[in-house]
Structure 1
Amino acid sequence: MADDKGLSNHKEFLAPGAAHEAAGQGHAATDLHGRSLVEFDRAAERRLRWKIDLYTVPTVSLLYLFCFIDRANIGNAKLAGFEKDLHMENYDYNAVLSIFYIAYIVFEIPATMTCKWMGPGWFLPATTLAFGICSVGTAFVNDKQSASGVRFVLGIFEAGVMPGIAYYMSRWYRRSELTFRMALFMVMAPLAGAFGGLLASAILSLDHFGTLKSWRMIFAIEGIITIGLGLIGFLTLTDRPETARWLNQEEKDLAIARIKSERVSTTELLDKIDLAKTLRGIMCPVTLTTGFIFLLNNITVQGLAFFAPTIVGTIYPEASVVSKQLHTVPPYVVGAFFALLFPLLSWVFDRRMPWFVLSPPLVMIGYIMFLTSHDAMVRYGATFLCASGAFAFGSLTNGNASNNVVSDTARSSAIGTNVMLGNIGGLISTWSFLPFDGPDFVIGNGLNLATSTATTILGAMLWMWMRWDNRRREGIDVDQALAGMTQRQIQDLDWKHPGFRWRT
């Protein structure tokens, strides 16, 4: 077995009951070239992976579903009189949307690091409970100032949800498995668009909810559901493999060892937060480029969430409010299918970068249709293409950021950076469809055509650079490069370790 520095070239078969040494603190599960020193019983891994899927994915998926619903239901409320009742004019609605994203962006990395410090098993339910309360509070606002205040606080508490869940899942899954598991919860974003429209339609069919009527019922009822899910999360979320009551000791050791076997020179799976590795995650070139790609893509994703009901309203101006809500559902369902398909293929082929290049053209075609046609059915069909190409990027970019750093600390800061940059795109999206630009929204549609084109180009360039740098690293003498360094210094290198390879 490997010594503390992982210098051994010996490779042994690791049965479920023999994982303890690889899982133990002070032992590395790779050599200095990043090659795994152990092989795993594939049948035991499959059983373990299925068990992890059952105990982690359903809870985080529901939390993220209502995180996105509580963020985007303001679009459904807008159709039901939100603007009119709060006496909003001109760009007031866009300003209220922007307030959320200012808080969301500022608190993104701090929230993700807090998640690591507290542990996801406590942080995720607590922040869900908090933003559920904020959603209920929105039902009682009476002017744009109070609406802006509640949306700002909502942004603070929702900031850590997506990166927190992505980081949480990186504690459980191999790099090849991770993107698809992220997709299983991030698919809730397009499903929130579909389910949120259906739920809003059902709620609006009620005469009242207590003393609340119309759009106020949407925020109150959906917020109460969120609070309930947050309370359940305290009981169902397990922080990490070591504390999982539903795993026996052999399964815990196997869960830890298989993750360590992919992290070059790592001797502890959950390290303490330190500045060096935090900055490694933030300043990684793959993190920054991937985050900028997510920024461009999020202009489309969040724009669809906030303005899909408005866009449908311009396509079918004579339809009832409920009918307009229902017309927003089918594009999201199709988008959800592709949000799972591309990450599934990335797991099957263990490649993520090809989908950075292949999915944006669907978005490009959709916005070209918006810009060149006034036919209602053509434009409605375009929303399907836009959703199909855009929604997979949440899991693809977070998976790419997570897979291309080494330590747990760097992973938490890399994911936080990716989501922070992505939500700058969300902030931009709040100003992409402006009242004076309707009903054709040439500026908004043109912007999204430009961003999807840029996404395709940047994705191709990043892919080529990662392949080129991997070939460069092959020529480095690893033993000479690391000569004289302590184990701590070697581990602090993270992605700069000469034995590390980018995962494309």
Structure 2
Amino acid sequence: MASEPKTPAPPIELAEAELAKSSFEHHESNVEEDEADAAMMRRITWKIDLRLLPLCVFIYCLCFLDRVNIGNAKLWHLERDLNMHGLQFNIVTLVFYIPYILFEIPANMIISRIKPRYWISGLTFGFGLTVTLCGLCTNFGGFLTARLFIGVFESGMFPGFLLLIGSWYTRRQVGARLAWFLVANDIAGSVSGLLGAGLGSLDGTNGYSGWSWIFFIEGAMTCFAAIIAFFFLLPFPKESTFLTPEEKEFWLRKLAIENAHYEEDKMKLNGVWKALLDWKLIATAFMYLAVCTSAYSITVFQPSILSTFGWSSMKANLLTSPVRIASGIVSVSVATLSNRLNKRGIFVAIGFCVAILGLLFTMLHHDYRVRYMGLYFGAIGIYIAQPLVIAWGVAQVAGRTKRGTLTAAASSLGQVGGIISALIFPNSDKPYYVPGGSVCVGFAAAGCVVCLTMWFFLSMENKMRKAGKRDHLRSLPQEEQYKLGEKHPDFRYTM
């Protein structure tokens, strides 16, 4: 690993010296900050929140909207106009995820080498333009090709945003911020139903069906967001200019002390490979797969499920929105509570259990009102778990390479859930979609088991470190101790 240039007292070297004195006692330390430092911490955090989160939420909201609007488009003559039959709709839904999965880790290696605003704005414009052109497709093959390109462009978005947000906040802060970021999914899910109803009502205007207008307008909105991102998206902390020199030095030092890691400038292939072998990363990725299998199923196929209640396309689109509004409110509220308590695992497990309950109601009960209530429980539970799974995983590893690899690998495996969801809800399983619902329940149950297993072993490791059973690592030179990251005996895993 390359060392930092030996220039006079750069912030990261000051952080290293202070880190040694603090013995890696980050957010769990009992050392109290003086009032000046606490005030500085609050002021800088507020400035970062205002500059980073709203723009990230806005862009990713449009990103997610472009991904799932195919479910709304289906209700406005998409299959009829493109002469799609059998499983062809399911195929164009899942094919998006193939390039998405393949390119996520390489994408995070690229974003660590260039400014995020160049990379993210370029990707945003690419998939926005592709979505817009989807509205001009006239056959299954053309639409399939467009969906592939959407997956290519969008592959770097989610892991890139997670890496950028994770680089700006301490381990304790990042959970609530990721929840606010991922509420973009709920906003998109809510808006998707409203836009699907509104834009779909343009059906026949200028000779285009309602599904074409959905793609035309939503894709153009995304292209506009790309222009905003190019001018206003923040870089990584070390390259930032909106903080004063004093604030920047303070914040870099705080990040190094509280996150307890040496911040590499670039992700390198050997570091990525080592990170992929970490069991904590594998467990996080599997939990995220379990989350995404249900999340994509609920998001993409909810309009189809509601249409089995005998509702019109307009009503089915409109009544997807309250479900996502409720899940967004609960998700952010639980993440904020989790942040204050500094607990993650228990809330992830609760989220999985609530989702299982809701999915069982939706697929097993015959009363449409109970089934609709089940969709609320399913969405609320799974979107409680989604941000906390990522935040929990990020809190257990140190360094840009590990964090970048974890977010990309978890997201990649999560997209396998999108492929699964696209295959398990064929039209032939109407009206209850029992096979698809059963698969989602199985993944949620497995995710809960992995969550509890990870919680148990990390808890045991914390006890061993408290008992001094890892103290032999203190005999290493100070520089080597600094590079131990989460393996340092004073590091405590977040529960």
- Deviation at residue 430 of structure 1 after TM alignment: 0.8
Whether 2:345 is the aligned partner of 1:371: answer no
- 1:176 maps to 172
CA contact (8 A) 1:277 1:407 kept: no
| Residues in 2 aligned to 1:82 and 1:46: alpha-carbon distance in whole angstroms | 50
Residue number among 381, 388, 402 corresponding to 2:394 in the alignment: 402
| Residues in 2 aligned to 1:379 and 1:362: alpha-carbon distance in whole angstroms | 14
- Which amino acid in the other structure matches residue 343 of structure 2? R
- Which amino acid in the other structure matches residue 292 of structure 1? F
| Residues in 2 aligned to 1:263 and 1:87: alpha-carbon distance in whole angstroms | 54
Whether 2:274 is the aligned partner of 1:285: answer no
Secondary structure class of the residue paired with 1:132: helix
- 2:265 maps to 271
| Residues in 1 aligned to 2:205 and 2:402: alpha-carbon distance in whole angstroms | 46
- Which amino acid in the other structure matches residue 251 of structure 1? E
Deviation string 1:212-260 (CA, Å, 9 cap, x unpaired) is 4321111111001000001111111110234333211111112211110
- Deviation at residue 113 of structure 1 after TM alignment: 1.7
Q: Percent identity?
A: 28
Whether 2:24 is the aligned partner of 1:34: answer yes
Whether 2:134 is the aligned partner of 1:138: answer yes
- Deviation at residue 208 of structure 1 after TM alignment: 5.8
Whether 2:451 is the aligned partner of 1:459: answer yes
- Which amino acid in the other structure matches residue 49 of structure 2? D
CA contact (8 A) 2:59 2:222 kept: yes
- 1:17 maps to none
Aligned residues: 482
- Deviation at residue 492 of structure 1 after TM alignment: 5.2
Deviation string 1:423-481 (CA, Å, 9 cap, x unpaired) is 11121111121222111111011122222222222211211111011222334566643
Q: Which range moved further: 221-230 or 126-135?
A: 126-135
| Residues in 2 aligned to 1:281 and 1:492: alpha-carbon distance in whole angstroms | 14
Whether 2:81 is the aligned partner of 1:85: answer yes
- Where do 1:142-291 residues align within 5 Å? 142-206=138-202, 212-264=208-260, 266=262, 269-291=263-285
- 1:358 maps to 350
- 1:501 maps to 492
Deviation string 1:360-406 (CA, Å, 9 cap, x unpaired) is 22111112212331101111111111011011333112212221111
TM-score by length of 2: 0.92
| Residues in 2 aligned to 1:215 and 1:442: alpha-carbon distance in whole angstroms | 28
- 1:63 maps to 59
CA contact (8 A) 2:352 2:447 kept: yes
Secondary structure class of the residue paired with 2:69: helix
- Deviation at residue 28 of structure 1 after TM alignment: 4.2
Change (3 A) 1:28 1:170: farther
- Where do 1:286-365 residues align within 5 Å? 286-315=280-309, 317=310, 319-365=311-357
- Deviation at residue 330 of structure 1 after TM alignment: 0.8
| Greater percentage in helix | 2
Secondary structure class of the residue paired with 2:447: helix
Deviation string 1:30-58 (CA, Å, 9 cap, x unpaired) is 23842259846111111111111100011
CA contact (8 A) 1:279 1:410 kept: no
Q: Which range moved further: 468-477 or 122-131?
A: 468-477
CA RMSD of aligned residues (A): 2.3
- 1:390 maps to 382
Q: Which range moved further: 144-153 or 366-375?
A: 366-375
| Residues in 2 aligned to 1:292 and 1:172: alpha-carbon distance in whole angstroms | 25
Deviation string 1:181-223 (CA, Å, 9 cap, x unpaired) is 1111211112211101111211122356666432111111100
- Which amino acid in the other structure matches residue 408 of structure 1? R
Secondary structure class of the residue paired with 1:75: helix
- Give 5+ residue unaligned stretches, structure 2: none
CA contact (8 A) 2:260 2:486 kept: no
